[in-house]
Amino acid sequence: MLMKKALGMMAVTGMLAFASSAVAQDKIKIGVSYPTPTHAWAAGMNWHAEQAEKRLEKLYPDVDLILVNSPDPGAQASALEDLVSVHQIDALVVLPFESEPLTDPVLNVKKSGAWITVVDRGLSQPGIEDLYVAGNNPELGRVSAQYMKGRLKDGDNIVVLRGIPTVIDNERFDAFMAEIEGSGINVLDHKHANWNRDDGFEVMQDFLSRFPDIDAVWAQDDDIAIGVVAALKQAGRDGDGMFVVGGAGMKETIKSIMDGDELIPVDVLYPPAMIATAMDATVNAFKSNGPVAGRYILGATLITRENAENYYFPDSPF
Amino acid sequence: MTMMTASEDNAAKSAKRFSVDFKTLGPALALLILCIIGFLLNPAFVSEGNLTNLLTRSAFIGIIAVGATFVITAGGIDLSVGSMAAAISGVMIMNNAVETLGTGVPTVLLGCGLAILLGIGAGWINGALTTKGKIEAFIVTLGTMGIYRSLVTYFADGGTLSLNFEIRGTYRPVYYDSFLGLPFPVWVFIGVAICGWLLLNRTAFGRYCTAIGSNEAVAKYSAINVDRVKTLTYVIQGLCVSFATIIYVPRLGSASASTGVLWELEAIAAVIIGGTVLKGGYGRIGGTILGALILTTIGNILNFTDVISNYLNGTMQGLIIIVAVLLQRSDWKLGKSGKS
């Protein structure tokens, strides 16, 4: 009796194992893990990930994309374990919550034999990922400064509103200052506005009270730029060729660039849609005959009235 | 601790008007010193435009802090105000009446009415859970803080809610227009402050708040309906949050998960800088208003100078808050010795 039962069990488990390996073989499973959206940019990323999932699964019926978002680094680490043990993924696209705590969990996924694509935030050890997809923070600063140099002349004054004090903010700011140097444009002062509309409004109000002559504003970010514009309009200083350069690619900003707004004439791209780029490239690693591994650094495109339409997604929350 | 209660009793016994005026001196002195520093750093600090900006900006925290003065005086605490403000602004912006009522004044009024109802409701929930549910106010409001904050994230789908463009045109003057040289938010601030002062200092309700904050058990034996008074303090807090939201929304016409972050701590800081005792039993509306002004002025002055590294802004804010309270506390002792 016992023997028979045990044999039966073995047969069943053997069949199950066979079945699951068969399923795993005919579907390419790709896990996509990123932080739970709690701010507009991340919400945009979530939207673009969902769009890419629909599009890619329709294009390749044998590709299964599994999107998971996690509210903190610990939860993301657990989510990665589940993707390996439950879904047995063939590839992972991951935007790490924080570099340090997620390096080991991603390394474990790598050890399971999966392809690894890291998005935006690098891991703290080199060589784990097969593909790295990211925006370009120094380039964002440089492109913004180049636009300023094109519009302003020697002796003109600008003010700078920065983000939250972080590496990202420093990279953007340092590159901007390096590019501005020697152009004769005066940077009157720079203050942190924390990538936030309210802070942008208040810091700009104070800049306006403090400096009677400001010719342009580098707000670095579209949310800050919205606060800056409100402050300029309140003080009645939005005329005389004054302009504001933001960054990221918020849909409202892009819309107003398309409509020919003079106060925010351009925007510099740091798109949440980079998650879709990463998903595309990861699928290509299985489908394309071209090599995919390497580093894919997006350009910080200058969005003007001419090309704005290509970057406008009216349904995205960002 | 015992020293403090003793001096409170002293203060309550002594002539009310005199002690109130004298104790206002601490925070007022701190504010005056701040203004002088601001002027020395940059004379543009005292320009009419900047002073108007300062007052208008103080209105949000100031109005919320008036409500917080009642809650804290009655021995409670409310950590949910920032999230509550965000959630209420979210609901106001999502107001769907545009199609039926158009983009005129009725829709705006409906939004404001909704905000007030929500504020009262949210405050009542905090109050009822604290009194009937017998849970510490800190935990109740920590919980509702998370709930209200995630609600606005949910409403906005993780992004930002923006006000309909035409309605913004109708509603905008509430923040940007002035009456007799003072912007409307400042008038609302003044109105709320006067009502708050009268309520705390000239009514039985105000005395009940103080009594409950000093000693809840004694208040209960004195036939005060403790639960009702405490719940009412949270309702007043909710109402103040609605007023603050009503003047906040027309400023930028948007709400997101980052709206009102840390307002609760700023409001509590304003209350304490103003001389109200954190453990309850002694409250001062006048001081709270000065506290709110001091907090806004610090941020303003830091924007007016590049002498201090940006990275040290938090240090300066912390230092000035501590010094302001220090000034006010040492003054307190002086007042006591003067009377005895």
The model carries a pTM of 0.82
CA distance linking residue B109 with residue B94, whole number of Å: 14
Whether residue A144 sits in one domain with residue A29: no
Q: Tell me the two tokens of residue B270.
A: 């304003």
pLDDT for A226 equals 93
Instruction: List pLDDT tens digits, range B281-316.
Output: 999 999 999 999 999 999 999 888 888 888 888 888
Whether residue A246 sits in one domain with residue A163: yes
Chain A residues with beta carbon closer than 8 angstroms to that of B157 = 43, 317
Alpha helical stretches, state H, chain B = 2-13, 16-41, 48-73, 81-94, 98-101, 105-131, 137-155, 165-171, 173-176, 184-202, 204-214, 216-221, 226-252, 263-273, 285-303, 313-339
* Paired strand residues for B179: B182
Whether residue A241 sits in one domain with residue A196: yes
CA dist list (Å): A271 to A40, A143, A299, B332: 12, 15, 10, 56
Scanning every residue of chain A, which has its alpha carbon at the shortest distance from the alpha carbon of B249?
A: A198
Show the domain range for A229.
Answer: 137-268
Three-state DSSP class for residue A113: coil
Q: Tell me the two tokens of residue B218.
A: 């004694």
Tell me whether residue B8 is in a domain: no
Mutate to test the interface with A, among B54, B248, B303, B304 (most CBs of A within 10 A): B303
User: B36-72 burial string, b = 16+ CB within 10 Å, else e?
Assistant: ebbeebbebbeeeebebbbbbbbbbbbbbbbbbbbbb
Q: What is the CATH number of the domain that holds A29?
A: 3.40.50.2300
Whether residue A215 sits in one domain with residue A168: yes
Q: Tell me the two tokens of residue A259.
A: 């409509």
Instruction: List pLDDT tens digits, range A104-142.
Output: 999 999 999 999 999 988 888 888 999 999 989 999 999
Show the domain range for B242.
Answer: 13-339
Contact criterion met (CB < 8 Å) for B300 and A198: no
Q: What is the CATH number of the domain that holds B46?
A: 1.10.3470
Tell me whether residue A169 is in a domain: yes
Tell me whether residue A300 is in a domain: no
CA distance linking residue B35 with residue A194, whole number of Å: 25
CA distance A57 to chain B (A): 24
pLDDT for B221 equals 93
Q: How many domains does chain A have?
A: 2
Contact criterion met (CB < 8 Å) for B57 and A202: yes
pLDDT for B77 equals 95
Instruction: List pLDDT tens digits, range B233-263.
Output: 999 999 999 999 999 999 998 898 889 989 9
Whether residue A119 sits in one domain with residue A190: no
Mutate to test the interface with A, among B89, B157, B301 (most CBs of A within 10 A): B157
Q: Which residue among B159, B252, B259 sits closest to A43, beta carbon to beta carbon? A: B159
CA B3, B4, B6, B10 torsion: positive or negative? Answer: positive
Residues in CB range of B130: below 8 A, 6 or more apart: B76, B136, B137, B140, B230, B231, B234
Whether residue A227 sits in one domain with residue A162: yes
CA distance A210 to chain B (A): 6
Q: How many domains does chain B have?
A: 1
Contact criterion met (CB < 8 Å) for A205 and B53: yes
Whether residue A166 sits in one domain with residue A73: no
Whether residue A277 sits in one domain with residue A188: no
Scanning every residue of chain B, which has its alpha carbon at the shortest distance from the alpha carbon of A252?
A: B162
* pLDDT per residue rounded down to tens, chain A (318 residues): 455 555 555 555 544 444 444 444 578 999 999 998 877 888 899 999 999 999 999 999 999 999 999 988 999 999 999 999 999 999 999 999 888 889 999 999 999 999 999 998 888 888 899 999 998 999 999 999 999 999 999 999 999 999 988 888 999 999 999 999 999 999 999 999 988 899 999 999 999 999 999 999 999 999 999 999 999 999 999 988 899 999 998 988 999 999 999 999 999 999 899 999 999 999 999 999 999 999 999 989 999 999 999 999 988 888
Whether residue A55 sits in one domain with residue A9: yes
Tell me whether residue A19 is in a domain: yes
DSSP codes of every residue in A239-277: -TT-EEE--B--HHHHHHHHTT-SSS--EEB--TTHHHH
Tell me whether residue A311 is in a domain: no
* Paired strand residues for A67: A32
- The enclosing H or E element of A152 equals none
Whether residue A162 sits in one domain with residue A237: yes
Whether residue A161 sits in one domain with residue A98: no
DSSP codes of every residue in B262-288: THHHHHHHHHHHTT--TTSS---HHHH
Burial (CB count within 10 angstroms: exposed 0-12, middle 13-18, buried 19+), residue A14? exposed
Tell me whether residue B5 is in a domain: no
Tell me whether residue B57 is in a domain: yes
CA distance linking residue B9 with residue B171, whole number of Å: 47
Tell me whether residue B259 is in a domain: yes
* A161, A230 Cβ separation under 8 angstroms: no
Q: If pLDDT is split at 50, 70 and 90, which confidence band does B158 have?
A: confident
- What is the average per-residue pLDDT within B135-150? 95
CA distance B248 to chain A (A): 10
Task: For chains A and B, count residue pairs whose Cβ atoms are closer than 8 Å.
Answer: 81
